[in-house]
Structure 1
Amino acid sequence: MVRLDFPTTYNEGKYEALIVGLDLTKAVEATNMVIHCDSQVITNQVNGDYECKGEKMKKYLEQAKRRVNELQVKIVQIPKGENEQADHLAKAASAEYMITPDKVLSFIQLSPLIDVVDVQEIGFESNWTTLLVSYLKDGTLPDGKEAARKLKVQAARFVLIKDVLYKRGFSRPYLRCLGPEEVDYIMREVHEGICSNHSGLQSLVHKLIKVGYCWPTMQKDAQIYVKACNKCQRFKNIIKLRMEELTPITAPWPFAQWGLDIMGPFSIAVRQLKFLIVGIDYFTKWVEAEALAIITEKNVQSFVWKSIICRYEIPRVLVSNNGKQFDNDSFRYFYSQLGIENHYSSPAHPQANGQVKVMN
């Protein structure tokens, strides 16, 4: 069941359905089939009884005949009253919200198939697959021993099936190789077509591979396409946080300014030790650390007294995060009595990158 999401006439719609059906028949490798069509015009044009007029209709007829000649197909005209099942599916596809019956394949088509076919057939001689196809089909090698060797090595990763080039994969199905003329259409269908979500660069590349396509410059072409997508640029998520300058923290002399943080829990050691309280001097990068079984206000205060004040004198500034072990009445009273300034950073390692956003 195909929904044509573009302007079309009655006969053009019939041809679109016929061509899609023939393509699906070929995809499942069926070779002998009978097509029942309630259109007298389409049936007689394909069978050669009617003459086709109009350039667009001639293109449809040409593509339909080409597919019919590849298969053993017989097209039979039937009365419209005997085509109720197809009419029912057509009404379901044309509804505002397409309702798909069980076990029925359905998709939305955004452009005429004759335009897609024309795009795919133009310029094949100049694309990157030319040498590979020539070698795999006829054994043709380029001039030069080194160039011939490289082509043989490269061709080992490709296979030619019914004159269509595919790339082999270790853990995935064969990928259809696309020329430059087909790339834009395929990316547009995956990025903006049915069930698309205007995905970003990496997601778009993964989707292209998942649906079974590949070409050498996928990453670069996808990046250019996403950047040029009008809807992506207009409606993508934008970080709305207000930008603020970070305050660099510098120390005027050794052991005047320390950063404090708690790490853990780690694997339990002797005496149930599983946490680590760390102090780092901003000037010398000297580290003082102590293992703890529990992290309480009293233990943090004891660490500052024994490992910092008693060894290196009273510091000028202590920098810590907003953890309750550092931000409490007891600890604030402790450093205020000693004349120590206390700065709070965001909840991360205070010494990270040497840049800390100070919150007074």
Structure 2
Amino acid sequence: MFLYLTVIEAAVSVVLVKEKEGMQYPVYYISKSLFPAETRTAIKSQALADFVSDFCPATHVEAEKGMLTLLGDQESGTWTLYIDGASNARGAGVGMVLRSPKGDMVVQAVRCEFKATNIEAEYEAFILGMQMAQGLKVRNLRVYSDSLLEVNHVNNEYVARDSNMIADLKVATEQKLKFRSFRITQEREAMHEQHVNRAGILVSDENQQMGSDWRKPYMEWLKDGKLPEDKKESQSFRIKAPGFVLIDNVLFKRSLAGPYLRCLNKKEANTVLQDVHSGECGNHAGGRSLSNKILRQGYFWPTMRADAVNHAKHYDSCQKAASAIHQPIEPMHPIISPWPFMMWGMDIVGKLPRAPGNRVYMLVMTDYFSKWIEVEAMTEVKEAHVISFIKRNIISRFGIPSEIICDNGSQFISDNTEGFCSRWNITLRKSAPYYPQTNGQAESNNKIIVENLRKRLEELGGKWANELPLVLLSDRTTPKVATG
């Protein structure tokens, strides 16, 4: 525990924090403004002593008043305890609701750091609930449990056979003898289900719990050779564990055809999801593409695919800018390109919102083999701009292409454009109006770029042209099914 103290001439403030796993969490905070008569200059130790002497008694008195109000008359009233336990392959958890004669409730949920069956979890809830009641000096207690087996054990109607069950029953019997009157019944009231079912929430996802880290068993095995106590889990663990390696106390997963993947905990995974999906170079990809991209970046955690899908589904701008498909399903019309950068598709996108420099169009070219995209924002697109773009962005970077496929735009089929292609021995193919699928690759990539820009429009406004390089970078680094 750490106590941070700030003292100025007219005020004093104190915050109490708890440190856990390198993070600090606030526990209590108090601040007081000093009137002129109270203003004093003192060293911090004296201010701390004044703080303790001034505030602790009053706080203690108020706490005692609240406790007395909650307890009421323990001698005559009967308290009610509702208990439930849950268990699965990931662990066990218990929930308890203790209600006073006046209707006040104390709700508590506990995660068990050990493997347990459902009946063992029920016993844990029963024992912890009775201990909680004893801490409040309860004398008369009535317990409701949904486990018929547990109730009949405690009421001596069934005989416990299992050794663990016998031990739990012995402890429970000792605890119940400490009450003046005690009764347990098999029943669950609907009004308390939302409280006792918190036990099930505690064990539904172990990665959401503070202090729970899926990497811990693997690190313990790699450091000390420690295996899980459960025999079946140990056998499964032996198969998985060799796929991990510990380097400088950092856990990595071996990759089949790439570098080691750094293993992340829940908090780190959420940061990576946010950055890769909607960061500076994020392209707001769907769940499958997002998880594949994270793998390419060198990160891993067990639930990354499900987390990526959920993250993409819950992102507001992705839902607003999602494309609505109204056309019926149609077979694909592949155009075969035997090697990279031999066949390109060319198209114009616009008009778009006016960007700095009065740029309202995009000239887009796409390689049919690698799906590589080249884009440039322009104020207007004429034949001279098309020729300059092909020279600057295609020929000078990827060599002379064999074919360019375009529509029948005047910029593409003009004499100057056809003459330029003829001089460089480039075949210029035009898609017919009655068969527009010929240039479908260019249209598909236009849609990708426009959708990525639409998802950024809330933040960018008319500055979409300045973001084109980042949109291209995010698309080029995103794995695609067609290219692997």
Report the TM range for the smaller structure's normalisation: 0.3 to 0.5
Q: Which structure has more RCO (C-alpha within 8 Å, separation ≥ 6)?
A: 1
